[in-house]
Amino acid sequence: MIVNRSIGSEQPDEYDELEQHLAQKLNAPLDWPEDSGLTVSHVARIAAAASCDTAYSQAANGHLIDLFAALPLPGTTEGKGFWERIRDAGGSGAWNIHPANMGGPFFDRIHDGNEGGIASRVLSFLEELTPSQRTDVAETIGSALDGGAIGVSGRYGGELWLRDAEMSAWRVALAGRREFETSEDRERFFEAWRRA
């Protein structure tokens, strides 16, 4: 990851927010266990690093799955009609996310490490939509959302769904470039900004 996001305190004697939270929840002093190699403070730093590393890929992919789960399921009567309306509203771009083209174990592949597959399909779908198609797709999605459970429906709910899917897919795609980054890349990034 180019930017090492840290919530740690700038002062070595001060405990950061996560360390204080863990100490309170665990009811353990921050240096517990004393004279041990791994303390509550260390666990807090590990947790912060782990959340930064997974937030842009696994969590964003999980969120994409949640977004699709809010839509009618393929194979059901409601789902068959819904996905046909999506295809009609979205034109050829809709084939990127249509169950007939993306069905089977596609969502399962996330567990096998294909973390960019759904994201790239969502981005391709949205990129191909014209403004009028995007409006039609938003209305179609919004009409299928359960306004009672989610709190919004109609075109506005569909627009929120599309924006959320777009940003979640973008986070997955952006995180994919980390696989090719090295510590030298990170240092070059920081050095360039120091000199700017």
13-21: average pLDDT? 65
45-49, 180-184, 190-194: least confident range: 45-49
What single letter denotes the amino acid at residue 150? Answer: I
Domain check: are 82 and 144 in the same one? yes
Q: Does residue 145 contact residue 156 with C-beta atoms inside 8 Å?
A: no
pTM: 0.69
Give the residue from 97, 100, 99, 134 showing the smallest Cα distance to 117. 97
How many whole angstroms separate alpha carbon 73 and alpha carbon 9? 46
Distances (CA, A) of 155 to 92, 113, 130, 151: 21, 34, 16, 13
Domain check: are 134 and 48 in the same one? no
Query: Domain count of the chain?
Result: 2
How many whole angstroms separate alpha carbon 182 and alpha carbon 165? 29
Domain check: are 37 and 97 in the same one? no
Q: Does residue 97 contact residue 120 with C-beta atoms inside 8 Å?
A: no
* Structural domain of 170: 58-177
Give the rounded percent of residues in the chain with a pLDDT score beyond 70.
Answer: 69
Domain check: are 64 and 37 in the same one? no
Q: Does any domain span residue 66?
A: yes
Domain check: are 11 and 35 in the same one? yes
pLDDT interval class at 7 (50, 70, 90): very low
Domain check: are 3 and 75 in the same one? no
Domain check: are 67 and 145 in the same one? yes
Domain check: are 36 and 128 in the same one? no
Give the residue from 78, 100, 77 showing the smallest Cα distance to 87. 100
Give the residue from 93, 154, 150, 142 showing the smallest Cα distance to 121. 93
Q: Say what the pLDDT of residue 12 is.
A: 55
Domain check: are 37 and 111 in the same one? no
Question: Which position has the higher pLDDT, 6 or 67?
Answer: 67
Domain check: are 16 and 85 in the same one? no
Q: pLDDT tens across 80-101, in order?
A: 999 999 999 999 999 999 998 8
